[in-house]
Amino acid sequence: MENPFRPGAGHRPPVLAGRGREQEHFRRLLREDFATENLLITGLRGFGKTVLLDDLKRTALAEGWVWVGNDLSESASLSEDRLALRILTDLAQSLSEILVQGADGQTATSKHAQDEAKDDLDPTTFEALKTKYERTPGLPSDKLKSVLGRVGSILTRAKLRGLVLAYDEAQCLSDHAQRDEFPMSMLVETVSSLQKRDGVTPILLVLSGLPQVFNALIAARTYTERMFHVMQMERLSRQDTAQALFSPMKPLMPPLNCPPDLFEKVVDLSGGYPYLIQFFGKELIDGLLKNGGILHKDQFPSPDVMDRLDAGLFAARWNKTTDKQRRFLKLIANRGTNRPNEFSAIEIAALSNGSGEFDSSQANQLLLALCERGLIYRTRHGRYAFTVPMSEAMILRRIQVEQDVESSWATISPPPIPIAPLTPEAPPPPKTKQKHKSNGLLGWFN
């Protein structure tokens, strides 16, 4: 019996629940004659950003759009030319898949592609796209506009609706003023300029990343706030969470038997977080299979299940922290469940008044260091939050495990065994002269 749940990074779940509003908004953008709005999908890790992006790709292809996308990396975002190279590479791959592959499944280069090849812009090859980029005078943004403009005319002749530039992990993309490199600004300005031109094939920009990507966009250009519709990925409602769990489980019951109280407990454990829905759903099915199809509420989750959750979602970043940072994180985690998700250096320093270990200056430095570790992020000026849902509970569990291990070694030592005092050694006997016989003669030798 195959387990239908798929926890992991970007794996498509068996049921995509609770994202109907985002899907419908994207369909409306695809059916407009002019692209006046772009998308920014943002949220914490494990909230289903990559899954939604993959679903939007299916929708775009079904509506006759060309989807060009990839995961951004720090190396691809170092300079404007590097980012342009990333886009050209992805563009060549997508065009070759759509324009070269015939409707009957046989490879046949279309006539419009042959016509464009005469002008050194065969859209099925990366070399031609790069040549067009390099031959265009001006800045990298001018070169990229030229390539995208020509490609747009090809798509129009191929009776395709438009072009979607979609990039995940967009928090890696930012400007670098100290090196005079502005890749984020180049991308935004390029798309904005093409969207304002008459007679140009529609182009949409879809970015997905952690919440800090919005601040980077606003810092890049003042008009970006009006360019993007922000899709803030929140946790699912209780009804959508139950649907995401029950629909994949229903075909397996029987032979599996999940009591209602156990099912409700799994819903509560997931908290509406898409990754946790898949994680606890998979662990529940595995537990039922191991126990002959029956599992009681008090048997789930086992300590091993929670260890796997912490290891897969949290441990990698936790293991990079210092002892002082862990004490600081414990202080944040102990704020209480009635506290807001955001916190500041002043608030955390106030919590440590009893010990006096962290003042405002130290708290601010630690928060910046934890941002570099990927454990927290800055939500706005002076305010921070955890990048992983339920981090507080995981921090307290990790600290408790470490304390339990230390306590197991803190056993009471047995009383020392009395040892009799050593008697002074007797002095060695005096040396005596020995009588030896040599060559038949008697003599005394020392």
How far is the C-alpha of 363 from the C-alpha of 417, rounded, in Å? 49
Instruction: Verify cis geometry, omega within 30 degrees of 0, for the bond prior to 254.
Output: yes
pTM attached to this predicted model = 0.74
Question: Which tokens is 141 given?
Answer: 């943004």
For strands 376-380 and 383-386, give the pairing: antiparallel
What is residue 440's predicted lDDT score, i.e. its pLDDT?
A: 46
How far is the C-alpha of 260 from the C-alpha of 255, rounded, in Å? 16
What is residue 399's predicted lDDT score, i.e. its pLDDT?
A: 81
Question: Which tokens is 232 given?
Answer: 């803030």
Half-sphere CA count of 149, side-chain side, radius 13 A: 18
Q: Say which amino acid occupies 39.
A: L
In terms of Cα–Cα distance, which of 366, 375, 378 is closest to 395?
375
Beta-sheet strands, E only, within 346-415: 376-380, 383-386
Q: Say which amino acid occupies 303.
A: P
76-80, 166-170, 171-175, 218-222: which range is least confident on average?
218-222
What is residue 413's predicted lDDT score, i.e. its pLDDT?
A: 59
What is residue 56's predicted lDDT score, i.e. its pLDDT?
A: 93
Question: Per-residue confidence at 143, pLDDT binned at 50, 70, 90?
Answer: very high
57-66, 281-290, 345-354: which range is least confident on average?
345-354
What is residue 116's predicted lDDT score, i.e. its pLDDT?
A: 46
What is residue 344's predicted lDDT score, i.e. its pLDDT?
A: 85
Question: Per-residue confidence at 438, pLDDT binned at 50, 70, 90?
Answer: very low
Question: Per-residue confidence at 67, pLDDT binned at 50, 70, 90?
Answer: very high
What is residue 433's predicted lDDT score, i.e. its pLDDT?
A: 56
Higher pLDDT, 167 or 444: 167
Contacts of 150 (CB under 8 A, 6+ apart): 116, 121, 132
What is residue 345's predicted lDDT score, i.e. its pLDDT?
A: 84
What is residue 206's predicted lDDT score, i.e. its pLDDT?
A: 93
CB atoms within 10 A of CB 26: 23
Q: What mean pLDDT is reported for the chain?
A: 81
* Residue written as token pair 């070694």: 409
How far is the C-alpha of 52 from the C-alpha of 235, rounded, in Å? 13
Question: What φ, ψ does residue 229 adopt, rounded to 5°?
Answer: -95, 120
344-358, 402-416, 418-432: which range is least confident on average?
418-432
| Number of helical (H) and strand (E) elements in the chain, helices listed first | 18, 9
Question: Per-residue confidence at 100, pLDDT binned at 50, 70, 90?
Answer: low
Higher pLDDT, 381 or 3: 3
Where do the H-state alpha helices sit in 3-117? Answer: 20-30, 49-62, 80-95, 111-117
Question: What φ, ψ does residue 5 adopt, rounded to 5°?
Answer: -85, 145
What is residue 57's predicted lDDT score, i.e. its pLDDT?
A: 93
Long-range own/partner contacts, residues 140-147 (CB < 8 A, 24 or more apart): 140/80, 140/81, 140/84, 140/186, 141/80, 141/186, 141/189, 141/190, 141/193, 143/84, 144/84, 144/87, 144/186, 144/190, 145/190, 145/193, 145/194, 147/88, 147/91
Quick check: 72 pLDDT over 60?
A: yes
Question: What φ, ψ does residue 249 adopt, rounded to 5°?
Answer: -80, -25
* Residue written as token pair 């397996």: 252
Higher pLDDT, 428 or 326: 326
Quick check: 156 pLDDT over 80?
A: yes
Mean pLDDT across 88-92: 90
In terms of Cα–Cα distance, which of 185, 194, 122 is closest to 162?
194
Highest mean pLDDT of the ranges 234-248, 327-341, 367-381, 412-426:
234-248
In terms of Cα–Cα distance, which of 310, 352, 347, 344 is closest to 327?
352
Give the three-class secondary structure for 125: coil
For strands 162-168 and 376-380, give the pairing: unpaired
Enter the DSSP assignment of 321.
Answer: -
Higher pLDDT, 104 or 405: 405
What is residue 258's predicted lDDT score, i.e. its pLDDT?
A: 85
How far is the C-alpha of 230 from the C-alpha of 361, rounded, in Å? 34
Question: Which tokens is 1 given?
Answer: 């019996």
What is residue 115's predicted lDDT score, i.e. its pLDDT?
A: 47
Highest mean pLDDT of the ranges 100-114, 255-269, 384-398, 419-433:
255-269
In terms of Cα–Cα distance, which of 6, 44, 45, 40 is closest to 22?
40
Question: Per-residue confidence at 414, pLDDT binned at 50, 70, 90?
Answer: low
Residue 255, judged by CB atoms within 10 A of its CB (0-12, 13-18, 19+), counts as exposed
What is residue 327's predicted lDDT score, i.e. its pLDDT?
A: 86
Question: What φ, ψ does residue 228 adopt, rounded to 5°?
Answer: -115, 140
- Report the largest interatomic distance among the alpha carbons of the chain, rounded to a whole angstrom: 133
Quick check: 61 pLDDT over 80?
A: yes
The radius of gyration of the chain from alpha carbons, rounded to an integer in Å, stands at: 33
Higher pLDDT, 377 or 441: 377
Give the three-class secondary structure for 343: strand
What is residue 27's predicted lDDT score, i.e. its pLDDT?
A: 92
Residue 443, judged by CB atoms within 10 A of its CB (0-12, 13-18, 19+), counts as exposed
Quick check: 408 pLDDT over 70?
A: yes
Q: Say which amino acid occupies 176.
A: H
